[in-house]
Structure 1
Amino acid sequence: MAGPALAQHGGSRLNLLNLADQKIKMLHLTWFAFFLTFVMWFAHAPLLIHIKQALALSDTQIKALLILNVAITIPARIVVGMLVDRYGPRIMYSLLLFISALLCIGFAFADTYSALALFRFLLGFVGAGFVVGIRLVGEWFPHHQVGTAEGIYGGWGNFGSAAAAMTLPALALAFGGEDGWRYAIASVGVISAVYALVFYKFARNTPKGSVYFKPKKTGAMLVTSWGALYGLIAMNIPMYLALAMLAWRLSPAGVNLYSVDMMYALWAGLIVLFVVQTQQTWRINVEHLRAGVPETDKYSFKQVGILNIAYFATFGSELAVVSMLPLYFLETFQGLSAVQAGLLASGFAFMNLVSRPMGGWFSDKFGRRKSMLILIGGLAAGYFLMGMMDSHWWIPLAVLATMACSFFVQAGEGAVFAIVPLIKRSMTGQIAGMAGAYGNVGAVVYLTVLSYVSYSMFFYVISASALIGLVAVMFLQDPKGHIVEVGEDGTVHRINVG
């Protein structure tokens, strides 16, 4: 399904080679922007051995870098989601690429562990790029193609992490010398800075003649019922708990990056932030809820909550499993070298090229809810099967089971974001930001579980949590008919969503 023609529905065709079609050109511009963000985000991973040697780092310091790499992504996706709805994806992607490029170059030339850790922490910001493209692609594609288009955007962009692993070690070798790894990482930053200018020049927020709808208020997600307001506040809690968990993992109880007192200070800061955000959310929403929300403005926050839970299980498990799979293969199957284990494990991430687009295509073709039920059910079964694997398994069979599981995981991700643009157009960035953040929350939770249990139990825990997601998806509603948006000039627009 990853060929030039990816979707056919009611006579409408998505031909990826037709660059005369503006929406196809925009899709290619956007997935490559996302691809670069993932190359920058994971540029350090294949070069860790060089970084460790150059700065004489301990194993504990390396582990701290890996945790710092994802710490800021949770709040960044929420904030960037709000900003993209307000200012548009064209300017936001350009800015994000350019700022991240500077951080990437800063990381490349850091000569102390403190500087390295700081830049690694700040570079977690680049993980918010995903949210920007979800809104942009949603603006350009009709409802019967949007799932496939979002799947291509997500899958091909996500491949940036695998591309970094495959190319950067060779690039570092080509540069040569002790600083080859620095030039390899810095070159990614330079390319991203240049592409930020290219994106700004050629990208457009909407097709010609279309309106870019903005939320009526910014600063918090607008909801349309009192129940949804309480639901929104409740759904913010797991994100703060995940950040508190990360703070704990960086303390003496984990990798010992800072003192226990510092951990308590960070926890206190998170409590204050949660109180401030809750007050802001309440203040922004309560005024228009008391005034009464027009029927045309209403949307179902239940849909948002279900997608958050589904992305927790799908992308959350992918991030966690990609992090541990090379070590799992190395320790489970005797006789494998570290290089062989890494190659076998890379199949999980490699599947993104096909799996996410397939998940989006299934959603377009066979229905949103039905596709989600099948894919998350397959994910639960896949992880259960991986939990049964042990050293007695034939290695090709273990790899096949792993790749089959990864198909359902990533296709499930594609199905989630096939629905996100169809809930409330003016808030697509915020909805995508929250769902995306829940993916990172899932990764933090699953990796924390892994630090306490065996590999088999780790896979069983993911499988069990996916069943919770499956129950939640049973309450999902297929987007039908039209959603209504009101332009800044007061004109009412009806957008077909199913």
Structure 2
Amino acid sequence: MFDSNIVGSANALVGGWGNMGAGITTIVMALIADGFVHAGLSPNLSWRVSLVIPAFLCFIVGLSNYFFADDCPQGDWSKRGLPIERTPEIHIASNEKNDKNIEVHDANKVVKDDAVSITDSEKNVTVPTSTRPDLKTFLTALKNPNVLILMIMYSCCFGVELAVDGALTLFFFNHKSFNLSKKNAGLIASLFGLMNLFSRATGGFISDFANEKLGIRGRLIAQFIIFFLEGLFLFVFPYSLNTLPQAIVILILFSYFTQAGCGTSFGIVPFVDPKIMGAVSGLVGGGGSIGGAIFTAVFKAYGPKTPMPFTVLGIVVMIVSFTTLLLRIDGRMLLEWKRK
């Protein structure tokens, strides 16, 4: 959908602002539940009733997407590239005797015929007809080692994000040296999700910038560095719990790199196998959900009173960061010893 030089930024910005809902929800849902408690409901019932509100909002958003959203910037995907009705040409006033057509100088140049306009990057690309992905498509994607590696890597960023989102409030609440109320613990924990306002997007920006300077290898370098730093700050977090300000600083740092890793990952995904990009994206995204389930089990196994899960996650993520060395995208790798 997006040009190759901004695909990382575009995917990361949209995904990051979506994930930012986790931080907002942590704050808003607590306030809604408190409102129901003050209205006379029990605490247990207030949480159940409050969940009706996001369910209703999701239903409305789903209907809005179905009826009003375009499939892609060119409109309906099934009609992309087909002839459309000619639209009136736009004219501007000038000092010359005859008006001249506007010439558009941007990434989406207007094609002055009956074809749908396409971006410069698509001029020499044959776009296949939209088809429903089948089992064979997903099996083809699963046979690609790059897909499997990116599934594991995405489980170590988005999966970590899911697990930490669910555990952070109780962790701060149960850490007795901080002596926080559940409400204040939730507010501090919400910082983790709210970082998505910019953190995932900057991961995409970094990936695109590195691609501009070094090509696809630049994206791999960005992927490795961000994942390694994510693991490092996750590992350091348990050692920052002497004071609350220190813990918050390290929380923000590992939050940033966790979410930026999601951005750099999906800066690589579109280049793995463009012909089946939908299947590749779905599998990599599914890897994040699987990672979330696994890492949530780690937090549950250790309980909410110990920082040991952060140590475990940090070690795992640092090890997984080195799998970037195994990625081969468009014939390029992170380390190329014999390349001329």
Q: How far apart in 2 are the matches of 1:430 and 1:176?
A: 48
TM-score normalised by the chain length of structure 1: 0.49
Q: How far apart in 2 are the matches of 1:409 and 1:434?
A: 19
Is the partner of 1:336 in helix, strand or coil?
coil
Shift of 1:424: 2.7
Shift of 1:177: 5.4
| 1:311 correspondence with 2:154 | yes
Q: How far apart in 2 are the matches of 1:468 and 1:327?
A: 27
Amino acid corresponding to residue 202 of structure 1 in structure 2: F
Is the partner of 2:229 in helix, strand or coil?
helix
Question: 1:382 — aligned with what?
Answer: 233
Task: Give yes or no for contact 2:150–2:265 (8 Å, CA) kept in 1.
Answer: yes
What are the superposed Cα offsets for residues 240-283 of structure 1, whole Å, 9 maximum, x if unpaired?
Answer: xxxxxxxxxxxxxxxxxxxxxxxxxxxxxxxxxxxxxxxxxxxx
What are the superposed Cα offsets for residues 23-49 of structure 1, whole Å, 9 maximum, x if unpaired?
Answer: xxxxxxxxxxxxxxxxxxxxxxxxxxx
Task: Give yes or no for contact 1:215–1:427 (8 Å, CA) kept in 2.
Answer: no
Question: 2:252 — aligned with what?
Answer: 403
Task: Give yes or no for contact 2:21–2:193 (8 Å, CA) kept in 1.
Answer: no
Q: How far apart in 1 are the matches of 2:201 and 2:311?
A: 27
Task: Give yes or no for contact 1:316–1:442 (8 Å, CA) kept in 2.
Answer: yes
Shift of 1:220: 4.1
- Percent same amino acid among aligned pairs? 30
Task: Give yes or no for contact 1:206–1:212 (8 Å, CA) kept in 2.
Answer: no
Q: How far apart in 2 are the matches of 1:314 and 1:213?
A: 33
Q: How far apart in 1 are the matches of 2:12 and 2:174?
A: 33
Higher relative contact order (CA 8 A, sep 6+): 2
1:77-116 alignment, distance < 5 Å: none
Q: How far apart in 2 are the matches of 1:357 and 1:346?
A: 18
Amino acid corresponding to residue 405 of structure 1 in structure 2: F
Shift of 1:415: 0.9
Question: 2:284 — aligned with what?
Answer: 435
Question: 2:100 — aligned with what?
Answer: none
Please report the RMSD computed on the Cα atoms of aligned residues, expressed in angstroms. Answer: 2.8
| 1:369 correspondence with 2:198 | no
Q: How far apart in 2 are the matches of 1:165 and 1:342?
A: 7
1:202-221 alignment, distance < 5 Å: 202-208=68-74, 209-210=80-81, 211=127, 213-214=129-130, 218-221=134-137
Question: 2:86 — aligned with what?
Answer: none
**Structure 1 counterpart of 2:64, from 185, 198, 201:** 198
> Structure 1 residues 186 and 382 mapped into 2: Cα distance closer, same or farther (>3 Å)?
same
Question: 2:93 — aligned with what?
Answer: none
Give the total of aligned pairs. Answer: 267
What are the superposed Cα offsets for residues 365-394 of structure 1, whole Å, 9 maximum, x if unpaired?
Answer: 11310110110011111111113234xx12
Q: Give unpaired runs (5+ residues) of structure 2.
A: 75-79, 82-126, 211-217, 333-340
Q: How far apart in 1 are the matches of 2:160 and 2:256?
A: 12
Shift of 1:314: 0.8
TM-score normalised by the chain length of structure 2: 0.70
Q: Which one is further off, 413-422 or 448-457?
A: 448-457
Task: Give yes or no for contact 1:373–1:473 (8 Å, CA) kept in 2.
Answer: yes
Shift of 1:306: 1.5
Q: Rg bigger for which structure? A: 2
Shift of 1:429: 2.6
| 1:151 correspondence with 2:12 | yes
Q: How far apart in 1 are the matches of 2:286 and 2:139?
A: 18
Q: How far apart in 1 are the matches of 2:47 and 2:317?
A: 39
| 1:336 correspondence with 2:180 | yes
Q: How far apart in 2 are the matches of 1:183 and 1:155?
A: 28
What are the superposed Cα offsets for residues 37-75 of structure 1, whole Å, 9 maximum, x if unpaired?
Answer: xxxxxxxxxxxxxxxxxxxxxxxxxxxxxxxxxxxxxxx
Q: How far apart in 2 are the matches of 1:181 and 1:323?
A: 15
Is the partner of 1:144 in helix, strand or coil?
coil
Shift of 1:215: 5.6
